[in-house]
């Protein structure tokens, strides 16, 4: 049986940077409050001519170049996003067209901040069963388009961006295991309460915004991410010391610190980009991975744990050898 191995990574952030000082001018907040509660100093925000798919295209091209893979070799495209360019076709189909790839399967995965972990897990199954041998997996978002820029409780938290990986079939590991969960009973704690089939009037009038019960989300995230660390280690008979790198979803530095503490891993083995990127939802893990691969921190053969928590609620992890 083949393993799914990362052959290349890529990331793309919008050029426009919005600092906490910029936000002080539009909502009642302060740089110190945002840094103390979240660890965020700045975020990148898409301009009018940038979209989820335009960011995804640039990230994908960089990952393909790093992997030395041509479009014609890719036999599956999966895009994790909550903010697709269109209701349909999927972001994956629009990305396929941008990359001039024809005929391979392409679809989106919607698991909010856990989207990339879900997408990676699905891609792994395709490769393990022999249904695909070269998969482009992208996490891409323009969350800024569904933020209420008058709501200080949410607008300070998020940013835009895209991250991508090329996964190739290999005799060597590779993704070792993935663990996915969801519980829809928490649907109202973190939501955009509007869509095509429900409250479409909010969508049509531009009032479809992220709403969040911050405290509840925070507590659930910390507890659940602690549990998923235990689940992943015990499923593989590993101890905490076997993990070389934690690459967590970048929601809040306090959530990341709590997970690192649970894993008893020092913060210099945890990749954090939240200070500069904010929470880019499905894009945050592949963006963080790309940063740490390109600056030489993460090396071939090292063991990485990805973990994420997000709206749904959804949560999950992927353990892999890089």
Q: Which residues bind ligand ACO (CB under 6 A)?
A: 29, 33-34, 37-38, 113, 152-153, 156-157, 190, 212, 214-215, 217-218, 221, 249, 251-252, 279, 309-310
Per the listing, tokens 């965020």 go with 40
Max Cα distance, the chain (Å): 56
Nearer to ligand ACO, 168 or 262 (CB): 262
Nearer to ligand ACO, 6 or 113 (CB): 113
Nearer to ligand ACO, 157 or 169 (CB): 157
Q: Is 236 a catalytic residue?
A: no
Q: Is 249 a catalytic residue?
A: yes
User: Which of 46, 25, 40 shows the shortest CA–CA distance to 147?
Assistant: 46
User: Which of 93, 100, 83, 3 shows the shortest CA–CA distance to 45?
Assistant: 83
Secondary structure of residue 251 in the 3-state scheme: coil
| Catalytic residue (choose from 93, 104, 134, 249) | 249
Nearer to ligand ACO, 37 or 145 (CB): 37
Q: Is 113 a catalytic residue?
A: yes
Task: Write down the least CB distance from residue 218 to ligand ACO, Å.
Answer: 4
Task: Write down the least CB distance from residue 88 to ligand ACO, Å.
Answer: 26
Give start and end residues of each alpha helix (H) in the chain.
Answer: 20-24, 31-38, 52-67, 91-98, 115-128, 152-155, 200-204, 214-235, 253-263, 274-277, 284-294
**d(Cα 132, Cα 70) in Å, to the nearest integer?**
15
| Catalytic residue (choose from 113, 134, 179, 277) | 113
Q: Which residues are catalytic?
A: 113, 249, 279
């Amino acid at each position: 049986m083949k393993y799914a191995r990362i052959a290349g990574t890529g990331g793309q952030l919008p050029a426009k940077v919005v600092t906490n000082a910029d936000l002080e001018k539009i909502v009642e907040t302060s740089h110190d409050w945002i840094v103390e509660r979240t660890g965020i100093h700045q975020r990148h925000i898409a301009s009018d001519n940038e979209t989820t798919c335009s960011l995804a295209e640039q990230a994908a091209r960089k990952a393909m170049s790093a992997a030395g893979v041509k479009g014609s070799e890719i036999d599956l495209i999966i895009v994790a996003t909550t903010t697709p360019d269109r209701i349909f076709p999927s972001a994956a189909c629009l990305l396929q067209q941008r990359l001039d790839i024809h005929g391979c399967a392409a679809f989106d995965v919607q698991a909010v901040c856990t989207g990339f972990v879900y997408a990676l897990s699905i891609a792994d199954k395709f490769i393990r069963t022999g249904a695909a041998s070269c998969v482009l997996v992208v996490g891409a978002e323009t969350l800024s388009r569904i933020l209420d820029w008058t709501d200080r409780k949410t607008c300070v938290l998020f940013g835009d961006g895209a991250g991508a990986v090329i996964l190739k079939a290999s005799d060597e590991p590779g993704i070792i295991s993935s663990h996915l969960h969801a519980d829809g009973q928490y649907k109202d704690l973190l939501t955009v309460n509007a869509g095509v089939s429900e409250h479409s009037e909010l969508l049509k009038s531009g009032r479809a915004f992220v709403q969040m019960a911050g405290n509840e989300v925070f507590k659930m995230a910390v507890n659940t991410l602690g549990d998923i660390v235990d689940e992943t280690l015990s499923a593989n008979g590993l101890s905490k010391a076997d993990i070389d790198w934690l690459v967590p979803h970048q929601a809040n530095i306090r959530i990341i610190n709590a997970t690192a503490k649970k894993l008893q891993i020092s913060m210099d083995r945890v990749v954090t980009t939240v200070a500069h990127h904010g929470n880019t939802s499905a894009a945050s893990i592949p963006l963080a991975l790309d940063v740490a691969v390109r600056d030489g921190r993460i090396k071939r053969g090292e063991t990485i744990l990805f973990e994420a928590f997000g709206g749904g609620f959804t949560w999950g992890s992927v353990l892999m050898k890089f």
